Structures are given as structure tokens and as C-alpha cells.
Chains A and B, each alone.
Chain A
Amino acid sequence: MINTSISNITLPLAAFPIVSSEAPLISVLQLMSKLSIGHACVVTENYNLIGVFTDGDFRRMILNSQKPLSALLMDDILIHSNKDPKYVLENEHFENVKSIMQKNKVWDLPVINQEHKLVGLIHMSSIVK
């Protein structure tokens, strides 16, 4: 698989959670559950990636916040997102992607094109396969 393109293992846009920065938290959690992916990409109207929100972010939020759940669930998703997420370019090679995942201990990586627009997601399960 060395120097193989990642296009075969990149999930298309409809297959993983993509949300706007103002999406209420609860609707993002519902989408993550529906698609069975604990990773949502936060994008602008033009699909520019501005953050990611993960199961881990939600876990840390619950542990650290003293707010009632009803308040958290109304908050806009970007407030709780990682605004400096790891990502890969669409022409990245498979082995590099694997090493980025191992090094950063992340199991999902947004894939963007030269214009910084989101084009897909690499999910750990695709790599294992």
C-alpha cells in the first residue's frame, strides 16, 4: 500500500457528520449517532473547514462544565470545537495518513482540497480494512 492514494478510503461528504458553526449541540449529537461516527466537521457555507467536534470534546465538556445540560445542548457547536484540527490534503499518501493518525492519536481525519474545502473524511475503520 506504500504511496497509494487515499481516495479509495475517503468517506464521501454524505457519509459523515458535517455541520454549520451555529448548529445546536443536540442536533450535532443526533447526526453523529445516526451516522455512527463520533467526529463532526464544522464548516462554513462554502465548506471551508473551521473546526472539528468529537466524542472526546463532548466527554471533556461534560466533565468540565458546570452548566445544565439544557444550556450546553443549546450552545453553538463551534464554541466547543477544536478550531485547529488536524487534516490531510486529498492527494496525501496512505502511509503518511497512517503515521499522522498514529502520531496524533486521532482516528478520524478530514480531507480537504487545495482551496481548503472539505471533500471527505478518513475514518479509522477504512484503514483497518
Chain B
Amino acid sequence: MGNISNKKISPSIFKSVDIGYDKNVKKVTIGNGSPLALIGGPCAIESKDHAFFMAEAIGKIVDDLNVPWIYKSCYDKDCRSAPESFHGCGLEEGLQILSEIRKEFGIPVVSDFSDPSWAKATGEVCDLVQIPAYLCRQTTILRAAAQTGRPIHLKKGQFMSPWNMKNSVRKIEAAGGKNIILTDRGTFFGYNSLINDFRSLSIMAEIGYPVCYDATHSIQNPTSMGIISGGERQFIPSLVRAAAAVGIDALFMEIHNDPKNAKSDPNTVINVKYIKKVLVQAIKIHQLRLELIKELGADEVD
């Protein structure tokens, strides 16, 4: 795929967040002109074997491209559309598997949590704790996340304006949280449909923390198929190119080896066989954007 450069270029204008709390994992820095990082993995932890299989498959690709990576997979999917949908392997088993992934592969891990009482345990294992988009303004969840002491991955709710995310950031800061990554995963565009307003990335960056683009949830058509969400995966590559050009510090993707049979989000997760091509483009555009900032300075149109 040619010469892929993903080296740090400084200066950028935003704060950076370090992810990785001990020497067992390779620390990842997100923001402030750092290389574009990937937050990615299977949506749900389906089994230990599958989690390890995916870690190995994604690991080969990111190592080849020199992409800093945080393994993402959740132990409890609390916002599925139907009662019979796969809910996850549960907190205890899930965190055990994530803990083993950390040790075996030496990579930081992230899971979301949907109940404040799960925060402590999640923070004890995960290097990054994630707040689901639907819960992005719930004070108890935000406070619980801050109290873990871990960096927080905060997704913008599909119903939230990007400027109102400052409210959620202030709640985290008030509870002692200092390291936050803000992510756009699309905004409701009528019923059962999302749209990316790419101004969101710039507006959230102004809040003062690194920003991330969630490529696989952005193409979701929420609950469009009655008891399951649909998705239009064909738009992932073009949207990723656009987001990287606008300006992101990390790219989020849910990745699976067999999307059709994925236990969660089968219509949005991207097949692992496609991610190299997507990442190469994202890295090149990210690098070019940073070089342009270095050459021309930050945007100054008022």
C-alpha cells in the first residue's frame, strides 16, 4: 500500500489524552498532533475465543500500518432493540476476557458501561471507560466514569447538539475527570435515520479535548428494521475520508470477521478484511491535515 507515514507532527492546538495505566500495555496518546489512533474491535464480547481471534486479526493490520490501537469490546449491550437480542457475556466474564486480552496482546482495552454501579469494576480493568451515546447526559453515569480515574470516551448522543456536549464535559470535570475523548456517531435525521454534521467535530474540539469519529455507528439506521438496526456500510470509507479531513484524533470502528453472524450490530460492523484500506486512507489524510496545520497554521476564518 505504499509508504505510510503515521509519525507525530506537532504542534496541534488540542490537548492530548494518554491511554494505558500500567506497563503491561503499549500506551496510546490521542490528540495534540499524535498519530491517528484506532479504537476498535467487535461490538460485543461474544466469547473468549472470538475476542482473541479478533485481537489477533486486527493486531496484524494495525501493527503493519503502525496505528496506535485500543481494543474495544463491550460486556453488556444494554440498548439492543429487542428483549431476545444478545445482551452480552456479562460484567464478570467480560472483564476477565478483556483483562486477558490486555496481558496477552499488550494493548489497552475499552468497554462501555450502562449502569453507574459497573463503573468501578470496569475502571479496574479497562484503560479507557466508555459512556454510551444514549446516556451521554446522565449525571450519575458521568460522575461514576470520572470516579474511575480512567480517561473517558464520551460519545455525543444522537439527540444532542455538539455544543451541548460541553454540559456533559463540565459534569465530568466537576467530578474530577480530566481526560476525555469526544466522539461523533451521527445525529438523528428524522426517525430511524442518522446524518453526520461534520461541524460537530470542530465544535466539540473547541471544548478542548481530542475528538474521534465513530465510522460504523454513523452509518446506522437506528431500529429501522423493526427489532434491529439497519446500516449502510458502503458509506464508511467516504465518511472516514471526510472526517479525517475535517479533523479527528482517533477513529472508532466496530470490526468483525463475519458481520452477518455478529451477535451485536450485524448491519453496521465492518468486515475486518476491509479495515486496512480504510485505515490507510484515514492515516494519509490525517497526516496531510497535520502537515497543512504546520505549514499554514490553524484555521483562522472568522
Chain A residues proximal to chain B, CB less than 8 Å: 22, 24, 67-68, 70-71, 74-75
B134 within 8 A of A: no
**Please, how many angstroms separate the alpha-carbon atoms of A22 and B170 in the complex?**
9
B40-57 CB mask vs A (1 if < 8 Å, else 0) is 000000000000000000
B182 CB to nearest A CB, Å? 14
B161: Cβ under 8 A from any A Cβ:
yes
Q: Which residues of A contact B163 (CB under 8 A)?
A: 67, 70-71, 74-75
Please tell me if B166 contacts chain A, counting CB pairs below 8 Å: yes
Could you list some 12 contacts between A and B, CB below 8 A? Answer: A22-B170, A24-B170, A67-B163, A68-B161, A70-B163, A70-B164, A71-B161, A71-B163, A74-B163, A74-B164, A74-B166, A75-B163
**Inside 8 A of A67's CB, which chain B residues have their CB?**
163
Q: How would you classify the secondary structure of chain B's contact residues: helix, strand, loop or mixed?
A: helix
CB nearest to A70 among chain B residues: B161
Scoring A22, A24, A68, A71 by chain B CB atoms within 10 A of each residue's CB, the highest score goes to A71
B167 contacts the other chain (CB 8 A): yes
Residue of A nearest to B203 (CB): A71
Q: Chain A nearest CB: distance from B108 CB in Å?
A: 30
Digit string of B214-243 for contact with A (CB within 8 Å is 1, else 0)?
A: 000000000000000000000000000000
User: What CA separation (Å) do A74 and B207 show in the bound complex?
Assistant: 11
**Could you say which of A22, A71, A74 has the most chain B C-beta atoms within 10 Å of its C-beta?**
A74
What residues on A are CB-neighbors of B166 within 8 Å? 24, 74-75
Given contact pairs A24-B170, A74-B167, A75-B163, enumerate 5 new A-B contacts (beta carbons under 8 Å).
A67-B163, A70-B161, A70-B164, A74-B164, A75-B166
Identify which of residues 155-175 in chain B touch chain A, using a CB-to-CB cut-off of 8 Å. Answer: 161, 163-164, 166-167, 170
B residues 103-121 with Cβ under 8 Å of A? Answer: none
> Please, how many angstroms separate the alpha-carbon atoms of A56 and B70 in the complex?
48
* Cα(A21)–Cα(B124), bound, Å: 35
| Residues of chain A lying within 8 A (CB to CB) of residue B164 | 70, 74
How many whole Å from B263's CB to the nearest CB in chain A? 38
A67–B163 Cα distance when bound, in Å, is 10
A69 to chain B, nearest CB (A): 11
Q: Report chain A residues within 8 Å CB of B203.
A: 71
Residues of B within 8 A of A70 (CB): 161, 163-164
CA distance A24 to B164 in the complex (A): 11
Return chain A residues, CB-CB under 8 Å to B170.
22, 24
Residues of chain B within 8 A (CB-CB) of A75 are: 163, 166
Minimal beta-carbon separation of A94 from chain B (angstroms): 41
